[in-house]
């Protein structure tokens, strides 16, 4: 398990890997921001080949309740990366 991962992230990673089929599932991955190129950490990344393209899905994990401020913070954090 990468140093930045926690037990819950590892669990999500294991579940996604079992369900993924042809997908590559990795945890605690830094993806480049599309605008700045700066690395942004994503807890679990699922990459699925689709024809000539690759679909990338980022999963953020949280222990406890994900309240509205947390969700809005994640939207803002990843909006520029996913745009």
Domain ranges of the chain: 7-82
Q: How many CA atoms lie within 13 A of 16 on its CB side?
A: 22
Position 55 scores a pLDDT of: 85
Q: For residue 59, give Cα distances in angstroms to 37, 52, 83.
A: 20, 23, 16
Q: The whole model's pTM is what? A: 0.62
- The pLDDT, as a whole number, for residue 37 is 86
Average pLDDT per 10 consecutive residues for the chain, totaling 83 residues: 72 75 84 84 86 86 80 74 48
**pLDDT at res. 20:** 65
**Whole-number Å distance between alpha carbons of 72 and 31:** 20
């Amino acid at each position: 398990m990468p140093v930045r991962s926690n037990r819950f992230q590892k669990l999500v990673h294991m579940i996604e890997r079992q369900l993924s089929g042809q997908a590559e599932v990795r945890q605690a991955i830094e993806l480049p921001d599309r605008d700045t190129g700066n690395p942004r950490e994503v807890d679990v990344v699922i990459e699925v080949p689709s024809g000539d393209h690759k679909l990338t899905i980022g999963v953020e994990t949280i222990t406890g309740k994900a309240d509205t401020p947390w969700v809005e913070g994640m939207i803002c954090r990843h909006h520029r990366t996913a745009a």
